[in-house]
């Protein structure tokens, strides 16, 4: 039969069990007769839109976010077209359920709520057989995007072991829903290198390896075995590293970024979306990016990645690298990063301030840094709940007319501040972007939506850019171009709107926005010489063609 997705010989119950081919109650009477489905479905024949309405009502019937998440995962395992049509039709409503913050709880309870397999689990004991195991992937055709994690740093929840698989599954759902990567061409992978989570190790229901995490040479061997298998079996596939601990994330990216088509979403995706929001804030405040003074709370891989991306944009705007570095002050749990501190990584030391700068200071904590530096932007990637206190924020607002305050840690419980408090403490002058969803602010009797600096603005578009433009590497220029495209989209949407403009585009329009962001990244890939030469018109057409739309094939 050729009127279904691709060609298949599946019939009857086997056809209904294939989520990529199953149309459920949308199978016509003729299809039911031809495909051995008569009697296997209720008599009614529905359109896809009618199915979406029914599925949405069923979704709303669950009161708890986790139960809604489980329902959506089950729908995805049953009928992928219906799942993606539902998600795209209600993207803003469903995004917090499909991904952050609800996916964090789903990862924490992964072994408890596990239903059906999805993706691949690669364990240390099988490292010599990874090439063979990749052949066991659910769909045997080309793979355009892999998202892989080892489960060690899941959101702000820490080590979730094999439960981390919820992250690649959720991310790839958004690659498809927003970027339009065909679901059969995505592959979530969990590298099971053990866990140091005592609760998981002692839980009889835990589904992962009951071993301590690999470290040192063994860990590196595991990563190399995985990369080698991907190179051999799935060359040209975009490989996204997700939620690796700081100690591993940057070294892995450094080791493989010039060898593979790869990027780290926590380091580079987060950085790009923050740069996009900051670029919009610069326009609103009237303070150009090269004049910003940025205090960053947190010095992990994500925070350093944000600074690296902003620094690249500063250099692109004419600053020397040294001048760009001096626009940043990093603060972690031990205070300001200064040259005299031991234990700093090479990436952190780039941003360490000179010791003599703080010689007269009363300590190097965040409050003192804000008082001394008088920052224009305060960025939080610390997972330290409430770290942006009223005293600190009011001090910042006393020296800055439009303070930029980004509490970016997630999930919501780990945010550095509540946006409503930030607005109140600054008299409504703060320009805010958050890492997790918060309710709209009340401004002059109306609701003002908040910008959520979700990586969803970047990574689905990067997948689409690579698929359409044929890039062989992910470069910094591609990510900076994507960030600027995000800011342009936000500016276009805000034109003519009353009240404080949102710093990022509306989530509901992200499928359309992804095409513009992907085009910008694809053009940058051509400029960097990592993609075949093509005109803007050619790339625009390629992007539109590459973006899959969830719809049933005509009967």
d(CA 486, CA 468): 19
Neighbours of 133 (CB within 10 A): 17
Q: Which residues contact 250 (CB under 8 A, 6 or more apart)?
A: 264, 267, 301, 304, 345, 347
DSSP per-residue codes, 95-117: HHHHSTTHHHHHHHTHHHH--S-
Per-residue tokens: 66: 């986790």
d(CA 336, CA 297): 9
d(CA 86, CA 286): 40
Per-residue tokens: 537: 């018109």
Half-sphere exposure of 547 (CA within 13 A, CB side): 26
Which 8-state DSSP code applies to residue 541? H
> How many residues are there in the chain?
555
Is the bond leading into 101 cis (omega within 30 degrees of zero)?
A: yes
Catalytic residue among 171, 256, 351, 457: 171
Neighbours of 283 (CB within 10 A): 18
Residues 66 and 109: beta-carbon distance below 8 Å: yes
d(CA 495, CA 183): 35
DSSP per-residue codes, 280-324: HHHHHHT--GGG--EEEE--SHHHHHHHHHHHHHHHHTT--HHHH
d(CA 161, CA 149): 10
d(CA 534, CA 539): 6
Residues 288 and 321: beta-carbon distance below 8 Å: no
Which residue is associated with the tokens 């710093």? 503
Query: How would you label 439-461 residue by residue, b for 16+ Cβ within 10 Å and e otherwise?
Result: eebeeeeeebbbbbbbbbbbbbb
Per-residue tokens: 427: 């008299």
Catalytic residue among 99, 219, 256, 457: 99
d(CA 72, CA 59): 8
Active site residue 171: yes
Instruction: Indicate the SS3 state at residue 504.
Output: coil
How big is the chain by its Cα radius of gyration, in Å? 24
Residues 280 and 503: beta-carbon distance below 8 Å: yes
Is the bond leading into 411 cis (omega within 30 degrees of zero)?
A: yes
What residues act catalytically?
Answer: 99, 171
């Amino acid at each position: 039969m050729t009127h279904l997705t691709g060609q298949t010989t599946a019939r009857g119950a086997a056809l209904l069990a294939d989520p990529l081919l199953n149309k459920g109650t949308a199978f016509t009477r003729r299809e039911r007769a031809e495909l051995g489905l008569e009697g296997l479905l209720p008599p009614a024949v529905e359109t896809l839109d009618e199915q979406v309405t029914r599925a949405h009502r069923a979704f709303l019937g669950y009161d708890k976010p986790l139960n809604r998440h489980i329902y959506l995962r089950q729908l995805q395992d049953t009928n992928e077209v219906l799942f993606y049509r539902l998600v795209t039709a209600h993207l803003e409503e469903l995004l917090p359920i499909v991904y952050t913050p609800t996916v964090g709880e789903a990862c924490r309870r992964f072994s408890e709520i596990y239903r059906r397999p999805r993706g691949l689990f690669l364990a240390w004991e099988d490292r010599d057989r990874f090439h063979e195991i990749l052949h066991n992937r659910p769909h045997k055709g080309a793979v355009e995007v892999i998202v892989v994690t080892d489960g060690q740093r899941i959101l702000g929840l820490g080590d979730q072991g094999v439960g981390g698989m919820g992250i690649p599954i959720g991310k790839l759902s958004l690659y498809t829903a927003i970027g339009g990567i065909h679901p059969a061409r995505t592959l979530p992978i969990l590298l099971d290198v053990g866990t140091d989570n005592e609760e998981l190790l002692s839980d009889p229901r835990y589904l992962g390896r009951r071993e301590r995490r690999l470290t040192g040479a063994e860990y590196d061997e595991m990563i190399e075995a995985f990369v080698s298998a991907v190179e051999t079996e799935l060359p040209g596939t975009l490989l996204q590293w997700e939620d690796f601990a700081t100690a591993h994330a940057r070294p892995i990216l450094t080791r493989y970024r010039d060898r593979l088509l790869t990027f780290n979403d926590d380091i580079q995706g987060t950085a790009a979306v923050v740069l996009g929001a900051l670029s919009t804030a610069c326009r609103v405040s009237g303070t150009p990016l090269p004049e910003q003074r940025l205090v960053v709370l947190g010095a992990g891989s994500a925070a350093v990645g944000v600074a690296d991306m902003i620094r690249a944009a500063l250099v692109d705007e004419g600053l020397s690298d040294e001048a760009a570095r001096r626009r940043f002050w990093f603060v972690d749990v031990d205070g300001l990063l200064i040259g005299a501190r031991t234990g700093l990584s090479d990436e952190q030391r780039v941003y360490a301030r000179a010791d003599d700068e703080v010689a007269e200071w009363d300590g190097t904590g965040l409050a003192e840094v804000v008082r001394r530096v008088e920052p224009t932007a305060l960025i939080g990637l610390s997972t330290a709940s409430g770290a942006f206190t009223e005293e600190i924020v009011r001090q910042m607002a006393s020296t800055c007319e439009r303070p930029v305050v980004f509490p970016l840690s997630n999930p919501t419980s780990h945010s550095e501040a509540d946006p409503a408090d930030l607005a109140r403490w600054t008299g409504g002058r703060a320009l805010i972007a958050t890492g997790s969803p918060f309710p709209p602010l009340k401004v002059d009797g109306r609701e003002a939506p908040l910008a959520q600096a979700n990586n969803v603005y970047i990574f689905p578009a990067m997948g689409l850019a690579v698929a359409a433009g044929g890039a062989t590497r992910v470069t910094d220029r591609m990510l900076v171009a994507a960030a600027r495209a995000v800011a342009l989209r936000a500016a276009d949407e805000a034109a003519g709107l009353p009240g404080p403009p949102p710093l990022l585009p509306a989530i509901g329009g992200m499928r359309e926005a992804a095409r513009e962001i992907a085009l910008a990244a694809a053009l940058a890939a051509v400029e960097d010489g990592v993609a075949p030469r093509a005109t803007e018109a050619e790339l625009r057409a390629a992007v539109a063609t590459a973006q899959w739309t969830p719809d049933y094939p005509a009967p």
